[in-house]
Structure 1
C-alpha cells in the first residue's frame, strides 16, 4: 500500500520531532539519523504498512535503532 506523499511527509515530521525530544537531540541531528535509519527505509518503501502504525511506535522503534548505534 502506498501512502499519500504529503501525509507521509507530515508523519516523518512528527516522528522526527518526537524522536528529537525523547533523545535530547537537535532537530537537525534527529532528521539526519532518521533519513539514514532502517526505519526510514521500511516506512518509505511501504514495507508491512509501517506508515500505518502510530507515531509513538515508530519513535520507540527509531530510539531502539539509535541506542544500538545502527
Structure 2
C-alpha cells in the first residue's frame, strides 16, 4: 500500500466522521449531510490540506461546513 493510499483511507474515515457528526448535530438525514459535505468549499480545503484543517476536530469541521451551507442558502 502506498503512502497516498494510506492517507486517503485516513481522510475517508475523517470525512465519514464529519458527515456523521453533522447528521447528528443538525438532525438531518445522512444523505443530506453527505450532500452538504461534498458540496462545501471547506471539504475541498480539507482535502487539499489547506491551513491544516484536517487537524481540526470533526465536530469543529462539521460546524464550519454547516455554517457555510447556511450562509450559501441566503
What TM-score bracket applies, with the shorter chain setting the length? 0.7 to 0.9
Q: Shift of the alpha carbon at 1:48? A: 0.8
Distance 1:57 1:22 in 2: 11
Counterpart residue number, 1:52: 55
Secondary structure, aligned partner of 1:69: helix
> CA-to-partner distance for each residue in 1:16-46, whole Å, 9 max, x for gaps?
0000111111111110110010111100111
Q: 1:41 aligns with which of 11, 26, 44?
A: 44
Higher helix share: 2
CA distance in 1, matches of 2:23, 2:29: 6
Q: TM-score, normalised by structure 1?
A: 0.87
Q: Calculate the TM-score normalised by the size of structure 2.
A: 0.83
Count the aligned residue pairs. Answer: 69
Q: Does 1 or 2 have the higher relative contact order (CA < 8 Å, sep 6+)?
A: 1
The structure with the larger Rg is 2
Segments of 4+ in structure 1 off by > 6 A? Answer: none
| Structure 1: gaps of 5 or more residues | none
